[in-house]
Structures are given as C-alpha cells and as structure tokens.
Amino acid sequence: MTVEEKAAQLVGYWAVSARPGEEVAPLPDDFGEPPPLDDVIKAGLGQLTRVFGTAPIPPAEGASRLRELQARVAAGNRFGIPAIAHEECLTGFMTHTATVFPCPLAWGATFDPELVEEMAGAIADSMRQVGVHQGLAPVLDVTRDPRWGRTEETIGEDPYLVGRIGTAYVRGLEGRGVVATLKHFAAYASSRAGRNMASAGLGPREYADIVLEPFFLALREGGARSVMAAYVDVDGVPATADERLMTRLLRDELGFTGVVVADYFGISFLESMHGVAGSPGESAALALRAGVDVELPTIRCYGAPLVEMVRRGAVPEEDLDRSVARVLALKCDLGLLDEASDGAKDADGSEDGAADAAGAAEVGGAVEVDGVRPGGSVDGVRPGDPIDLDPPAHRRLARRVAEQSVVLLANDGVLPLRADRVAVTGPLAAEPRAMLGCYAFPNHMTARFPDLPFGVDIPSLADALRAALPDAEVEVAAGRDVRVTDDADIAAAVAAARRAEVCVLTLGDRSDLFGRGTSGEGCDAESLALPGRQAELADAVLATGTPTVIVLLAGRPYALGGLVDRAAAIVQAFFPGEEGGPAVAGVLSGRVEPSGRLPVSVPRGPGGQPATYLHSRTGGPSRWSSIDPTPLFPFGHGLTWTRFAYDALEVDPSAATDGTVRVTATVRNTGDRPGTEVVQLYLGDPVASVVRPVRWLAGWARVRLEPGAAARVEFTVHADRTSFTDLDLRRVVEPGRVDVAVGGSSADLPLRGSFTLTGPERVLGPDRVLTVPVEVTPC
C-alpha cells in the first residue's frame, strides 16, 4: 500500500453530515469542509460515520444508503476494501424509529449485569440487521462530580459496579458480532468542577484505582475490540497525545490488540483546544505516536497533513504501519477482507472485482460475520425486506430494564396509590422527552429537526398513569418549561394538588446538547440544586398539605434536602427510555415491585461534596469542617414493598495474601409481600500504606424472596480484591486486617466482621483477580 492508501484506512468520513449552520457537535476552529467522498475513496476509507445517526432516515432507506456507500468505497480503491460503519448506541441504536432503552445510570440502578447484557444483544441485533459494524458504547467513566452534564451517560460512582455492568454491555454487543468501543479512556468524568472537557485534577492512585478499573474489566472479561480516547488532559497531557496511557498501559501492560479511535474532533483539539500542536499535521503526529489509530468523525489531520508528515520524515512510517495493521486486522475479524484482496476470486468465480463491491454492499459492508457470505443476508434480512428497529420484543425488554431501574427512595405508605383523585403536575408530567437522555435520537436531533416525530411511541407519565389507574380520576396540570419560568405553571400545579387526594409532582431534567438542556453533553450544572424554580414549585405544592409523591426524571442526582421530610414518597428514575412512563406508573400503582438501587448518592444540599461514597475518613463529616457531605440517600439505597433482615454472618478468619475468604450471610423477607433485595458486600482497609476509602463495594446479589422466605448468600473474596496502588505506584496486596460489612446499601450495613490477610506483601500484574463470585442458596 502507498502512504496515501495507508493513511486512508485511518480516517472516518461523515457521509451524511449536517447542513451548513446545523452543527451536530461544535466544530474545532477552522475545521473546514472535508474533501468530497469520491476523492477520498480513491485511496480507500477506514470508517463511515453515522449514516443512520445524523439525520432521520427510514431503516430500509438507511440500509440501502449504506450499501450504496459501501459499494462506492469498495469499488473506489484498488484493493476493494469496504469501510467499517459505526454508530452511537448508548441508549439503543441511535437512529430514527429504533428502540430507545434506558440511559446508563438506569443500567447501574438495576444492579443486573445479565439483563444489561441481554439489552446490549438486542441493540446489536438491530445494528447488524442494517450492516453496522461498530457501536460507540459503553461509557465506563466513573461518576466523580455529578454536576458534569454527561453524568447521565455514566453507570455510577463505584468502579466495580461500572465495570461489571459495562462489561455485560460489552459482552452483549461483541457476542452478536458488533464491535464495542470503551469510552472515554480515561478520566473524562473527573474534569474539574464538572465542566465538560475541563482538565482532570486527580493523582495517580485515584486514576489507577478508580478511573481505570472498569476498563480493565471490560477489556479482559468483555473482549472489547475498540477503545475511544478521552478529550481531557490529566496533569497537562491530553489523553489523545498520551503515549504512556494509549500504548505503554493499554497495549504493553493490558495486552489490548484492538483499535483506538479518537473521540469526535479529538485529534484536531490537540491544536485548537489543548495547544500542544501548531497544525493539523503536528496533531496527527502526536496522536499517531501516542497510539490513536483512527481519526473520527471525518478526515482532517490523518489525511493530507499526515501523509505530508510521513513523506518528509517527521512521522516514522512505522507508526503509520502499526495503526494500519490494527485497522486491517479488525476489518479482517469482521470479514471485510475475505474477498477484497487484489486478484482474488469473487464469490461468483470472477476476477474483475465487481462482485467484491456488490457482495460488500449487499450486507452493508459486513462481507462475513458469523458465516454470512457475500451476497447473503445479515440475520435473515435481505435488501428490500421490511426492517423493524422497534419490534415488540425490544419494547418488552426496554420495559423490563426500565422497571428494574426505578428506585423508591422514600415512602410513608402512600404508595402504591389507592386514591380516587390524583393530580399529575410539574414540568415533566406530560413530556415524553423526559424519559430520554441526550443520546436518544429524538433528543439528540431536536435542534436540527424540532418538528420531527419521535419515531417510536413514548408515553408520558401522565398518559401512563391514566392507563395504570383506570378507576381513578387523573387530572393533569403540566408545566411548560423544565426551568419553571412561568408563575402560571406553579399556580396551576397548586390548584390541581388542592383538588386531589394525592399529587404526583414531576421534577428533573430535559436532556439535550451543549447548553440547550439541563442535562446532557455540554449541559453542566453550577450546583446540584434542582434546575430553575423547581424547588419553589415543590415548596408550593407541598404547602397545600395534599400528600405528594415526587417523581424525579433526571440525568443526575439532585439535592432533595428540605423536600424529603414533607413528601409522602420520592421515586427516582434516571431517563428510563421509551417504556419509562409505564415503568414508573407501574411502581406508583403497585403493579411493579420497585427493585432499583441508587448507582449514585443523592445529596442533601446542592454543594455537599464529595458526592461519591468512595471517600476517605477526612472526606466524611467531622468536627474539623462545618460542611457535612453525608448524602441524603446513599449509594446502593432503594426501598421495596416489603422489609428485609440480615443475620448469621460468617467470615473466614484469615487467608494468605494470595488466597480467598468466604463471606456468607442470611437475608430474610420479614414483610407480607414478595420483594427483591440487593445484598451488598463492602470491604474496608483500616490501616494501609496510603489513604484508602472508608469502604468499597466488593460484590452484590439480587435476591428475590417470598414473604417469610430466606436465602444464604456466599461471596468468595480473593485477596486481590483488597489491592490498591501503593507509594511506588505498584498494585499490591498488603497483609493485615480487612473489615467486612454486609447489608442493603453503603450506609445500611447491619452485619460487620473482619478477616486477616497473612504472609508477604504481593505485587500484582494484569492477571489479578477482578471479580467476586457469589452464590445464593434458599434456606
């Protein structure tokens, strides 16, 4: 391959980009227009960007468009190599008319990796059906400051929860033949003050023990074949230019052999935002040397500027070859090279290359995945077949995920609802978009297509509650603005509450992009106070004296101090997707048993930091500070319709620093209704060579019990799960006492014990034990 042909394999192309003046995302300074596609593909093409996810396009038309583009790409280069087609898939395949699943915070709230894996498999099936090869998900950023607008895209504030749930999502995608892309590597969610793309302020131990842990799990146990570089810089080094991170750690230590892609415009940002490069060519040189293989979303730095740098010796051609080999290996893995070599016979026996392009086009470029040959079909779908991206099975699955993600924070007995007259008020009462995050197609495209129909049925909470309470009189007094700028909205809500026996007050977020919403990418918050005048609205409704259920439909936790003592109940749902309305209404009506648990702590006050439960002793309340950061509702908290009791804790007294310890406990349903408890195991290190968190999540089990029934839960804890980064930045297991706590949340831990690790300190490698197996046995 020529230098131009090699470089062409390292670029994406946004073939259906926004029209002038209609940004999908803010562009770098002086980005300019990419070259015409026909000029680009003469040398080949690495990736096609968001053919489905940039503008509304019917599925069959999109599949046809992708086949046509792939035919042009394959026919346009002398090797007949198609492109990898990638799409966003954070809350489902992000295209018009595809199922919108709950957002990642909701995945975390389920504490159910198997369910999340099933959901990811369904998403992959939709993508495969139309010829998409790669999904830009999951997000493995650990929540550090929930003011960050992209908190809704995170799974939670605990790295083990994020790692287990994120790995399950990876398995779901990869198990169906779609490449999962881990993002954002690394520390994107650790930006200062929760500001998008701000520098990340954290030390090497926090970076290693918190930020990197989910990536280790998803790479080693999920088998992800792609990683996306983060936008941020850590200690002055942008991730996109960090050779230590992208090569020495990711590849040399962790053994990753897949493809690293840049976040959109991330290579250009080395010049325009970070100021570590003075030109597109210099940006390309830095990123390529660091180990970033592919420029997304479209060609700029890795095009002519990179070719020029190689030609004049400023970039070693070996660096170029290294990345090209990785890209071609992934294309080979996807089957894209099976009939695409120069002079190879086509599927029909000819040698002119025409059938190569046609075969690649036939399945959107996926020449062979799981045995599908050129000219065949993907998952039984052939060109011209009807394509349903929101089939009933996917809607049912979206409902299950949504139902398991709803968290009952507080309840004085008003739930399940038994009232004859119910008022549904607040800015989100009749707003279907309240169910969706910013990477759901309807919200992602609002600015460009404000009148676009959703493409899928998304019941509002008011509509869903009417259906769930057919015998009740349901009055809806919906506000018009999530920031509640109109006094009339407050007055209408108060009047409706006074006429009702029970009021359901909806509060929370409207997710969008780059300042257009209260949550979402580029929609960061100054504090964790409810947006706009929502607290004032809540005060006015609660002052009526009508029992009020507060329902939060949000992308981050908000401060609820001052409301919880006056509300009859509080229900938290993190953007629960297209079936979120029926799911929340199901909990309110009692049809659904609440089983979600908080993946992030809910603060008492808007400025109580640190927000995460993973803090040291000095990070909690103390007489040395006038600020008490104790959360109102802790990580792992969630109520059900019943009660649970714990007893009979047994802990092996000791183990070697390379051994295992069994921790067992009994949980019993002491109420009169069935229920699901999430039994949580926490560990603590009372004396260590560096400052450690007070406790950290080591394992959990979802246990469903009938009234009076009990189960024995056994955790097998390897000593590696006590490891941390020491003074010399080595991962070590130290001998000594380890505290054990078991219960229903990070703050509700009735069973306490300890064990002792004996023997020498151990230094661990990348093969260390990452998970804690758990077994549940009925008593």
Give the chain's mean pLDDT: 91
Q: Which residue has the tokens 């942008």?
A: 238
CA dihedral 63, 66, 68, 71 (to 10 degrees): -120
* 735 close to 761: Cβ distance less than 8 angstroms: yes
pLDDT average, residue stretch 267-277: 96
Q: Taking 60 as the threshold, does the pLDDT of residue 352 lie above it?
A: no
* 665 close to 750: Cβ distance less than 8 angstroms: no
d(CA 359, CA 345): 12
Q: Taking 90 as the threshold, does the pLDDT of residue 344 lie above it?
A: no
d(CA 445, CA 568): 37
Q: What pLDDT does residue 372 have?
A: 29
Q: Which are the contacts of 470, defined by CB distance < 8 A and separation ≥ 6?
A: none
* 105 close to 189: Cβ distance less than 8 angstroms: no
Model pLDDT for residues 71-87, shown as the tens digit of each residue: 999 999 999 999 999 99
b/e burial code for range 270-294 (CB count within 10 A of at least 16 → b): bbbbbebbeebbbbbbbbbbbbbbb
* 114 close to 168: Cβ distance less than 8 angstroms: yes
How many other C-beta atoms are found inside a 10 Å radius of the C-beta of residue 761?
A: 14
Q: What pLDDT does residue 358 have?
A: 35
Model pLDDT for residues 282-292, shown as the tens digit of each residue: 999 999 999 99
d(CA 558, CA 541): 18
Question: pLDDT grade, residue 244 (50/70/90)?
Answer: very high
How far out from the chain centre does Cα 321 lie? 32
* 135 close to 182: Cβ distance less than 8 angstroms: no
Q: Which residues is 191 bridged to in the sheet? A: 200
How many other C-beta atoms are found inside a 10 Å radius of the C-beta of residue 737?
A: 13
Q: What pLDDT does residue 623 have?
A: 84
Q: What pLDDT does residue 351 have?
A: 36
User: Which residue type occupies 600?
Assistant: V
Q: What pLDDT does residue 779 have?
A: 92
Q: List the structure tokens of 644.
A: 């649970």
b/e burial code for range 7-27 (CB count within 10 A of at least 16 → b): bbbbbbbbbbbeeeeeebeee
* 772 close to 718: Cβ distance less than 8 angstroms: yes
Model pLDDT for residues 405-434, shown as the tens digit of each residue: 999 999 999 999 999 999 999 999 999 999
Q: What pLDDT does residue 264 have?
A: 96
How many other C-beta atoms are found inside a 10 Å radius of the C-beta of residue 749?
A: 18
Model pLDDT for residues 534-555, shown as the tens digit of each residue: 999 999 999 999 999 999 999 9
Model pLDDT for residues 508-522, shown as the tens digit of each residue: 999 999 999 999 999
Q: What pLDDT does residue 723 have?
A: 98
Q: What percent of the chain has pLDDT over 90?
A: 85
Distances (CA, A) of 628 to 33, 562, 625, 631: 52, 15, 8, 9
Q: Which residue has the tokens 């151990």?
A: 762
Residue 441 φ then ψ, to 5°: -55, -45
pLDDT average, residue stretch 737-766: 97
Question: pLDDT grade, residue 447 (50/70/90)?
Answer: confident
Question: pLDDT grade, residue 628 (50/70/90)?
Answer: confident
Q: What pLDDT does residue 371 have?
A: 30
How many other C-beta atoms are found inside a 10 Å radius of the C-beta of residue 191?
A: 27
Q: What pLDDT does residue 385 have?
A: 73
Q: What pLDDT does residue 609 have?
A: 62
* 155 close to 140: Cβ distance less than 8 angstroms: yes
Q: What pLDDT does residue 340 have?
A: 55
Question: pLDDT grade, residue 610 (50/70/90)?
Answer: low
Q: What pLDDT does residue 620 have?
A: 85
Q: Of the candidates 518, 557, 564, which has an alpha carbon nearest to the alpha carbon of residue 538?
A: 564
Q: What is the DSSP code (8-state) at residue 559?
A: -
d(CA 29, CA 33): 12
* 25 close to 308: Cβ distance less than 8 angstroms: no
pLDDT average, residue stretch 254-275: 96
Q: Taking 50 as the threshold, does the pLDDT of residue 366 lie above it?
A: no
Q: What pLDDT does residue 17 have?
A: 53
Model pLDDT for residues 719-745, shown as the tens digit of each residue: 999 999 999 999 999 999 999 999 999
3-state secondary structure of 253: helix
Q: Of the candidates 168, 96, 99, which has an alpha carbon nearest to the alpha carbon of residue 137?
A: 168
Q: Which are the contacts of 380, defined by CB distance < 8 A and separation ≥ 6?
A: none
Model pLDDT for residues 195-224, shown as the tens digit of each residue: 999 999 899 999 999 999 999 999 999 999
The region of weakest confidence among 1-15, 25-39, 530-544, 561-575 is: 25-39
Distance, first Cα to last Cα, the chain: 66
Distances (CA, A) of 183 to 147, 224, 239, 269: 19, 11, 12, 17
Distances (CA, A) of 408 to 350, 520, 600: 64, 24, 14
**DSSP-assigned letters across all residues of 580-619:** HHHHHHHHHHTSS------SSPBPSSTT-S--SS---GGG
pLDDT average, residue stretch 117-131: 97
Q: Which residue has the higher pLDDT, 472 or 342?
A: 472
d(CA 476, CA 424): 5
Question: pLDDT grade, residue 360 (50/70/90)?
Answer: very low
The region of weakest confidence among 352-356, 526-530, 675-679 is: 352-356
Question: pLDDT grade, residue 624 (50/70/90)?
Answer: confident
Q: Taking 80 as the threshold, does the pLDDT of residue 616 lie above it?
A: yes
3-state secondary structure of 521: coil
Q: What pLDDT does residue 354 have?
A: 33
Q: Which are the contacts of 409, defined by CB distance < 8 A and separation ≥ 6?
A: 560, 564, 570, 571, 572, 598, 602, 633, 637, 638, 639
How many other C-beta atoms are found inside a 10 Å radius of the C-beta of residue 758?
A: 13
Q: What pLDDT does residue 347 have?
A: 31
The region of weakest confidence among 114-123, 345-354, 381-390, 476-485 is: 345-354
